[in-house]
Amino acid sequence: MEQRNGESIALAYAWDLETNTRQEKVFTVKHSIKTKTGMKVLTIHVIFTS
């Protein structure tokens, strides 16, 4: 949905076809991961090919 410096805002949904109901959840995902040596900031590399 949206990307900011250091985090992304995401949307997940589930649709029950039997009852025709849908539930949405919006949540924030930080661009970091916990390792044995501490927190590591993740970087996003975009590669374009022609």
Q: How far is the CA of 43 from the CAs of 1, 22, 33, 37, 47, in angstroms?
A: 18, 33, 11, 18, 13
* Measured torsion, CA atoms of residues 48, 30, 5, 11, in degrees rounded to the nearest 10: 70
C-alpha–C-alpha distance, residues 27 and 46, integer Å: 23
Average pLDDT, the chain: 86
pLDDT in tens, 5-43: 888 899 999 999 999 999 999 999 988 889 999 998 887
The pLDDT of residue 46 is 56
Q: Say which residue, 1 or 37, is predicted with more confidence.
A: 37
